[in-house]
Amino acid sequence: MKKYALLCAVLALHAGASFAKDWNEIRMASEGAYPPFNTTTADGSMAGFDIDIGNALCEEMKAKCTWVKQEWDGMIPALVSRKFDAIIASMSITEERKAKVDFTDKYYASPLALIAKKGSELRPDLELLKGKKVGVQRGTVSDNFATKYWDGKGLQIVRYAKQDEAYLDLRAGRLDAAFVDYLEAYGGFLTKPEGEGYDVAGDRLFGRNAEEKAVIGEGIGIAVRKRDKELTEKLNQALAAIRANGKYDAIQKKYFPMDIYGN
Amino acid sequence: MELFDLSVITGSLPQFWRGLWMTLQLTGFALLFGFFAAIPLAVLRLSPNRLVAAPVAAYTYFFRGTPMLVQLLLVYYGASQWEWMRAAWEAGHPVWTLFREPYFCALFAFGLNTCAYTVEILAGSMRNTPHGELEAAKAMGMTRLKALQRIVIPSALRRMIPAYSNEVILMLQGSAIASAVTLVDLTGAARDVYSRHFAPFEAFVFVGLIYLALTFVLVGLFKLAEHRWLAHLAPRKAEAGRQS
């Protein structure tokens, strides 16, 4: 037993040491169900803005990227339990998440938006939403926002495991509106045939005061385990590099007609 | 990090409470429907007329042959796929509008599923009716229908209790898939809490314990039921035999 424990300790030390020195292989995780940021292609691999940015960062760091597909619900626990090394899955940087993991600098930013039938009178305002059914993806910033400001105040918040399911129910008429990340809605719904007849209802929501801004977050970052400070640092450097050398802009142009980095 | 953060649970008790209520409703109503619909269906299932028995056999084969999650998703997303169904929702059709509600979709799928199993359990129990009981019924001059009503079904219902208790427990656990169609049952509440606090262990251990407790209560109730209705099949006690 003692020998076995010793062997484990040596192996662990060895593995730890070889990882800590040079991150030449990084296991990246994404969800593969959040178009156009991360989607699953016909052959089961993942593609999208997040994946392209991740690959560009690895290239910049001269590391090998391997991709892991992980359900959104279990994303942070899986990172903490070392199933992979970094999450690049359009995850907003929030205080709650920062308690569990570290984040790199933002790699893009996005406001929230209420999506409803074109010409709808709905607005992301509590008074106008009373008596309505609003769909959100569970555990996202829009869920946090809706939970904090609207839950239990006369409207029903319906939580979905996947964003796509909320759109399905919106189209089916089970929801009056979906409350989502604007860029996700833009690329994943509004510009697609399924999204015909739907539009952003009211203004996009960047946070109307400091408190709302704190909920919506500082932008979208890459999550890394707290102990892997080096990796966070390396990713930040790589991020600054691709922002400067035009690679970021090239990837952005592939997906969006507008700037999504913000300032 | 703490090993088990109790505040995650104590802070979310109302959510778990509503989830428990939802789980009990879904399980209870589905079982109620399944049980009462199963009695006539089991009789049809055993009909010597193939044209009557075959559709029931096909129904139970389908519902026992596919996962309940698939059935639930078929009902929920299948319904919303049809243009005429959506038009009926817009127009407020009294029957089809029910399929817009996830609650009804879940009850519909769960009810049909548990009914299929109950039909087979009851039909199996009816097949095993002791010959003596049937002969006694005949000797009393009962018609086939009377014998069915007074002897075969009541006797089969008693003898199916142990097998049916399994179905009830499976239904309770099976109802956990309701969260796949946005219902916040016990499991759905756990998922909400988990995604809010990133504490899967606390949330799922807690609902796991609730499911365990519910199962414990069910097992106890069925023990009582067996004692009450299956006493005649229990091994006779030696002293009791001597006294009588």
| A131 close to A155: Cβ distance less than 8 angstroms | yes
Q: Scanning every residue of chain B, which has its alpha carbon at the shortest distance from the alpha carbon of A134?
A: B182
* Residue (of A157, A145, A110, A150) closest to A126 by Cα position: A150
CB pairs under 8 A between A and B: 48
Angle between helices A49-61 and A229-244 (to 10 degrees): 100
Q: Write down the mean pLDDT value for chain A.
A: 88
Cβ separation of B100 and A174 shorter than 8 Å? yes
Region A36-50 average pLDDT = 93
Contacts of B86 in chain A (CB under 8 A): 172-173
Cβ separation of B196 and A139 shorter than 8 Å? yes
Residue A131 clears pLDDT 80, i.e. is over it: yes
Instruction: Report the alpha-carbon distance of residue A112 to residue A133 in Å, rounded.
Output: 17
Residues spanned by the domain of B148: 6-231
Is B240 contained in some domain?
no
Calculate how close chain A gets to B174, using CA atoms only, in Å.
18
| B133 close to B183: Cβ distance less than 8 angstroms | no
- Report pTM: 0.75
What pLDDT was estimated at residue A94? 84
Is B242 contained in some domain?
no
For residue B176, give every residue at least 6 positions away whose Cβ sits within 8 Å of its Cβ, in sequence order, or none.
B23, B185, B186, B187, B211
Residue that is written with structure tokens 């796949």 in the block: B180
Contacts of A158 in chain B (CB under 8 A): 182
Give the residues across from A40 on adjacent strands: A46
Contacts of B19 in chain A (CB under 8 A): none
Is B239 contained in some domain?
no
Region A229-255 average pLDDT = 95
The first and second tokens of residue A76, run together, are 């942070």
- What tens digit of pLDDT does each residue of A5-23 get? 555 554 454 444 444 547 8
Domains of chain A by start residue, with CATH: 24-109+219-255 (3.40.190.10), 112-216 (3.40.190.10)
Instruction: Report the alpha-carbon distance of residue B148 to residue B146 in Å, rounded.
Output: 5
Region A247-252 average pLDDT = 96
Give the residues across from A156 on adjacent strands: A133
Which residue from A135, A138, A169 is facing B195, i.e. has the nearest CB? A138
Is B166 contained in some domain?
yes
Which residue from A73, A97, A169 is facing B191, i.e. has the nearest CB? A73
Is B195 contained in some domain?
yes
Q: Which of A190-194, A258-262, B35-39 has the highest mean pLDDT?
A: B35-39
Residue that is written with structure tokens 């029910």 in the block: B98
Q: In percent, how much of chain A has pLDDT > 90?
A: 68
Supply the CATH number for residue B111's domain. Answer: 1.10.3720.10
Low-confidence ranges of chain B (pLDDT < 70): 1-2, 238-244
Give the residues across from B156 on adjacent strands: none
B73 exposed, middle or buried (CB, 10 Å; 0-12, 13-18, 19+)?
A: middle
Q: In percent, how much of chain A has pLDDT > 70?
A: 92
Is B212 contained in some domain?
yes
Cβ separation of A168 and B80 shorter than 8 Å? yes
- Integer angstrom CA distances of residue B122 from B84, B89, B99, B113: 38, 37, 29, 15
Residue that is written with structure tokens 């309701």 in the block: B178
Mutate to test the interface with B, among A174, A175, A194, A227 (most CBs of B within 10 A): A174
What pLDDT was estimated at residue A112? 92
| B176 close to B214: Cβ distance less than 8 angstroms | no
The first and second tokens of residue B224, run together, are 């009582």
Give the strand order in the sheet containing A64-69. Answer: A64-69, A25-30, A86-92, A220-224, A102-103
Cβ separation of B196 and A74 shorter than 8 Å? no
Angle between helices B161-174 and B13-45 (to 10 degrees): 140
Is B218 contained in some domain?
yes
* Residue (of B231, B210, B199, B147) closest to B8 by Cα position: B199
Higher pLDDT, A216 or A179: A179
Number of domains chain B is built from: 1
What pLDDT was estimated at residue A263? 61
DSSP assignment letter at B26 = H
What pLDDT was estimated at residue A16? 46
Cβ separation of A159 and B90 shorter than 8 Å? no
